Structures are given as structure tokens and as C-alpha cells.
A and B are shown apart, each in its own frame.
Chain A
């Protein structure tokens, strides 16, 4: 039992060092590649005729991601509604 605690503590420490070490390589307020976003803010008002560029990106430039997200929400509601169904007379169904 003590071996399990020590191994999990070592793994958590390794993960923590890994997560906190990536923050020293990045620079806040100065991203490196901004070509795609410059294209979207320069041409978004003419191609999609919209004032809110974030809505234009979510629904016009990247509409497939929104379709996938709506499907994930639908599937989760399907799974919740499957857990709470009423059971009829079934066999092999006994709990102590």
C-alpha cells in the first residue's frame, strides 16, 4: 500500500514539473504566427458581412467544429436519458 502512494506521488511531481516548465518558453502578449487571424479580421467584414468576428469564425469560417459540438451535446443528452429509463421485468437483475 505504501508503494502505491510513493509511485503516484512521483508521477504527480513529474507531471507538475512538466506543466510548469512550458510556461518559461512562451511569451505573454506576443504570439508567433498570426497570419490566419490577420486574414480573418481583415476580410471577415467583407466575406461574411458580420461585425462580431468571433461569431463569424464560429459559424462561418469554422462551421464544421460547431456541427461536431452540437452532435456531442445531443449524444450526451441521449446517454443521460438512457441511464434513467424504467425497467420492465428482466432476468438476471438482482442486487443484494
Chain B
């Protein structure tokens, strides 16, 4: 059980992110909860591809011949860039909402004009 520590840490970060998204009332804190969930997913992806005693998959001045899996690291690179794009768009939405309603409380911006 003690050897699964990276997986337990990734699961805990995801759960803390979900709790932040559900229980907070400020818009910026909800977006930070979403960023926490994405960080936890990236950590879980990279921890999946570890081989015991392996080095980074780079052949320049390499020490040994045992390498970790490189496909998972490529997926994590793509996921980080997609996270940046999503967070930038959400934060610009929040700025436009603040300009119109003068508040960022999520219970007060729920008006629909008929």
C-alpha cells in the first residue's frame, strides 16, 4: 500500500479540486478548482508510465538502457497546453461578467432577461 503513493496523491488532489468547485461561492475560486483537477490528472498520467530503475527516454549521454514509457509524456504535454487554453478563456469570461454586474458572487449573477 505504501508503494502506491503517487496514485494516492493524484487521487487526493482531484478530490480536493472537486470539493473546491462545489463548495465555494466566488467565481475565481471555482476556476482554480478546475485547474486543480487538471493538475491531478496530469500527475496521474505521468505516474502511470514509470518502470522501476529506468531513466528518461533520451539517448544523448545515456547511462543505462532501461527507459520509462515515452507515449504518456507526450499525452501530458498536450493536456497541459489544453489546460492553459481553457483557463485563459474562463478568466476572460469572468472579467466581462465583472464589468457588467460589478460583483463576482455566483448567487447574484443568475439573472436572465426575458
Contacts and interface: CB of A to CB of B under 8 A. Distances in A.
Contact of A51 (B7, B14, B58, B96): B58
B86 A53 contact: no
Contact of B59 (A45, A73, A84): A45
Nearest to A21: B11
- For the residues of B in contact with A, the DSSP-based class is helix
Contacts of B112: none
Nearest to B79: A69
A65 B3 contact: no
A18 to B, nearest CB: 9
B74 A20 contact: no
Interface in A3-35: 8, 12, 15-16, 19-20, 22-24, 26-31, 34
Sorting the interface of chain A by its residue count into under 10, 10 to 19, 20 to 34 or 35 or more gives: 35 or more
Given A12-B18, A45-B59, A57-B71, A83 B92 contact: yes
Contacts of B58: 51-54
Given A41-B67, A95-B100, A31 B51 contact: yes
A53 to B, nearest CB: 4
Interface string B72-85: 01110110011011
A65 B74 CA distance: 9
Given A19-B11, A19-B14, A65-B74, A72 B60 contact: no
A84 B92 contact: yes
22 contacts: A12-B22, A19-B15, A26-B7, A28-B4, A28-B5, A29-B52, A31-B48, A31-B49, A31-B69, A34-B69, A37-B69, A37-B70, A52-B57, A53-B58, A54-B57, A54-B73, A54-B74, A57-B70, A66-B78, A69-B78, A76-B89, A80-B92
